[in-house]
Amino acid sequence: MLPLPKKYFVTAAASEGETSLTAFDGALLKARVGNTNLLRVSSILPPGCQFEPDLVIPPGSLLPIAYGSITSSEKGAIISAAVGVGIKSDSFGVIMEFSGNCSKKEAEAQVTKMVEEAFRIRGIELEEVKVAACEHLVENIGCAFAAVPLWY
């Protein structure tokens, strides 16, 4: 069993590649998580988890991460990905992910709305929302990626 994460950051990046997988890999590298082994998790930020925007994850680490991504080979398409973290200082937080064929602004609005709804249905007061998003114009094969890496 993995220990409870104590740190996190939000990140988003996009990349082109010769294949869908290399476009995804390039986006991971630009988002500062490309040299880790992603362990996709769902959407709860542990209580007391601290925001650390300059966090460096050691290469090869098993990295719990909530993320949204989209890959497209439709030349000229606009793709975006966003994550939102809802925070209540004396409680756990909620992470939401979104990706789609839309602008960065639309992705940010959608993920923020999702965070607000998640807090509302839990009956928890939302104090703060942190968002990371990116937009990409597909040239050949593109990927937009947004994530909340969790660390110890």
Q: Amino acid identity of 134?
A: C
Is 37 in the active site? yes
Catalytic residue among 72, 97, 99, 108: 97
Is 103 in the active site? no
Asked whether the CA dihedral 83, 103, 71, 133 is positive or negative, the reply is: negative
Q: Could you tell me the CA-to-CA distances from 131 to 20, 21, 51, 94, 134 in Å, in that order? A: 25, 25, 12, 12, 10
pLDDT tens sequence across 6-47: 999 999 999 999 999 999 999 999 999 999 999 999 999 999
Domains delineated in the chain: 7-52+60-151 (3.50.20.10)
Is 91 in the active site? no
Is 97 in the active site? yes
> Could you tell me what percent of the chain has a pLDDT over 90?
98
Catalytic residue among 37, 73, 89, 140: 37
pLDDT tens sequence across 44-92: 999 999 999 999 999 999 999 999 999 999 999 999 999 999 999 999 9
Please tell me the pTM assigned to this model. 0.96
Catalytic residue among 43, 72, 80, 99: 43
